[in-house]
Structure 1
């Protein structure tokens, strides 16, 4: 019986580790700020072989971190917070300027190019199981090419 319980426990642990490794986050970066600027954006590519939702973002560098989307409405670009961002199975979702992004507000310090910002992203699967991924995002100056992406 003890061997059986150990095997079940090990299988559950391996499943949890495999699930954690499913979400892939690439090219994470944060837009640099100027002194006194209170907000900036974080951008990245997120992919998962199974459907998950990005449901929460936390960071020590900002008082508020939210997933936002930008959409054109009546020839005016509008931004709004989202409760969650769906990451469809097998598809890559790009968080980029002018589209989905993570808004960092009430910044505690200036974000300077070359620094690193730690973000904790919480994903939830269809069974409501959550996993937290720590992401190291490099702070970059905004270039014209990045803005047109």
Structure 2
């Protein structure tokens, strides 16, 4: 069973399952994160949905690049969680199934190409406190324990 974080699903509400991939991107004691500035600032692990016909690893590379401008190497799946949330950019109530990978950020190619995203390096201990959802904070905390 996959652990759930966040709000309990609301009875009678229909949720659309959205499968996504997200990355812990450590360098020393810091993590590379993305801040989504619209609809309101939200600090996140870089990542997002897997497009139809796309493999999880291809989606991870694409999403990290779009949201941070960085290329990554050696992704390794470390776990998964699910959460139920409203996604205003899609006007959708979603059951997000989030697969978490650890990868190495290897080269910054430029700014994020995804609108309203900023790449941010942050100390892991701070990220554990400031990431915008419980699942992201949980996996950042597991990484912090390894430091």
- Normalised by the length of structure 2, the TM-score is 0.32
* Largest Rg, 1 or 2: 1
Q: Which structure ranks higher in relative contact order (CA pairs < 8 Å, sequence separation ≥ 6)?
A: 2
Instruction: Indicate the structure with greater helix content.
Output: 2
Greater strand percent: which structure? 1
